[in-house]
């Protein structure tokens, strides 16, 4: 009785991306109610050289799909980073969830020792599958989803941590 | 070959808390260089009803120690939430790392199905060990560490995502 690589990846990424999608719905509703241009929020940043909200959502999606594709040794689906509106970002999340749903446990399980090579700042960095998932993909994924949440919260959107965590 | 509950908990919490400790060092150095009162940063928030930086660090520590103690079925070490300075917060992280280091793999492994009951907003919520670790402890832990990072970043401390992720 242990944790499989699939259990520690696909369903957890999917759960958190669904929560993120619900957070985007609340942000859209906030813009409607307060007559705020949604592009102000999707373009908002916590600091001038940090990624804007839209990019945080794109990178959250990329981290999830990249992790699963690499562990399964399938091609990473290419998504152009053109989303600007909440609607477009919702479509990006939906495409990512669709990919996550298409990956079967048998493609991921047993990848603990698989060699994963990433290009980071122009250098090849090599990981074993389990170290990559737990030590790189997870913290990166949660970092970008939490930062997306923090950007909205900082701008007054009424969300709480339970929106980030979702129903258990 | 699968992931053990220990591998998915203690070493990952410890790694990220060590990174957080290094981030605090950079924040302290930033205050020294710019003649900023450190209490301004440790008391900073992204929004008036969000936790301040010091509380984000305390809750990061609590999430890690609470998760390990619950999975191991040992008493959760009690730490008073009195820290205000970077030095005091460093001591809080150090105490937490010491507790994490004291927990042995045999105390955590096999806790996948253990019943974990949490009091959340006054209600008992029950989880199985694995669902608790992957679906509750992890996202909570990374949420608070990322928010602590975001508060500093928002205030101009020169840190990057590699400080959050640490060396692989």
Structure tokens at A112: 């603990």
pLDDT at B121: 85
The pLDDT profile of chain B, 168 residues, written as one tens digit per residue, is: 689 999 999 999 999 999 999 999 999 999 999 999 999 999 999 999 999 999 999 999 999 999 999 999 999 999 999 999 999 999 999 999 999 999 999 999 999 999 999 988 899 999 999 999 999 999 999 999 999 999 999 999 999 999 999 975
Residue of chain B nearest A146, judged by CA positions: B143
pLDDT at B168: 59
> Ramachandran region of residue A14, left (φ > 0), alpha (ψ -120 to 50) or beta?
alpha
ipTM of this predicted complex? 0.97
For the stretch A32-46, pLDDT in tens is 999 999 999 999 999
How far is the C-alpha of A25 from the C-alpha of A19, rounded, in Å? Answer: 10
For the stretch A78-93, pLDDT in tens is 999 999 999 999 999 9
In 3D space, the residue among A140, A119, A143, A118 whose CA is nearest the CA of residue A128 turns out to be A118
Q: Are A114 and A71 in contact (CB under 8 A)?
A: yes
- The low-confidence residues of chain A, meaning pLDDT below 50, are none
pLDDT at B1: 66
pLDDT at B152: 98
**What pTM does this model have?**
0.97
pLDDT at A89: 98
How far is the C-alpha of B165 from the C-alpha of B163, rounded, in Å? Answer: 6
Q: Give residues with Cβ within 8 angstroms of A107, minimum separation 6.
A: A71, A72, A73, A74
Which DSSP string corresponds to B91-143? HHHHHHHHHHHHS-HHHHTT-TT-EEEEEETTEEEEEEHHHHIIIIIHHHHHH
B contact set with A (CB within 8 A): 1-5, 7-8, 12, 15-16, 46-47, 50, 109-110, 112-113, 125, 127, 130-131, 134-136, 138-140, 142-143, 146-147, 149-150, 153-154, 156, 161, 164-165, 168
């Amino acid at each position: 009785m242990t944790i499989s690589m699939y259990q520690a990846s696909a369903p957890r990424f999917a759960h958190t991306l669904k929560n993120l999608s619900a957070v985007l719905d609340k942000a859209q509703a906030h813009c409607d109610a307060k007559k705020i241009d949604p592009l102000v929020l999707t373009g908002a940043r916590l600091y001038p050289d940090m990624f804007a909200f839209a990019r945080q959502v794109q990178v959250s999606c990329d981290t999830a799909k990249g992790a699963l594709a690499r562990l399964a040794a399938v091609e990473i689906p290419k998504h152009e980073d053109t989303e600007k509106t909440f609607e477009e970002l919702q479509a990006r999340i939906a495409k990512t969830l669709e990919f996550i749903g298409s990956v079967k446990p048998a493609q991921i399980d047993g990848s603990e020792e698989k060699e994963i090579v990433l290009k980071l700042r122009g250098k090849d960095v090599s990981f074993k599958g389990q170290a990559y998932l737990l030590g790189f993909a997870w913290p990166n994924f949660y970092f970008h989803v939490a930062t997306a949440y923090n950007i909205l919260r900082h701008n007054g959107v009424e969300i709480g941590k339970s929106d980030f965590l979702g129903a258990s």
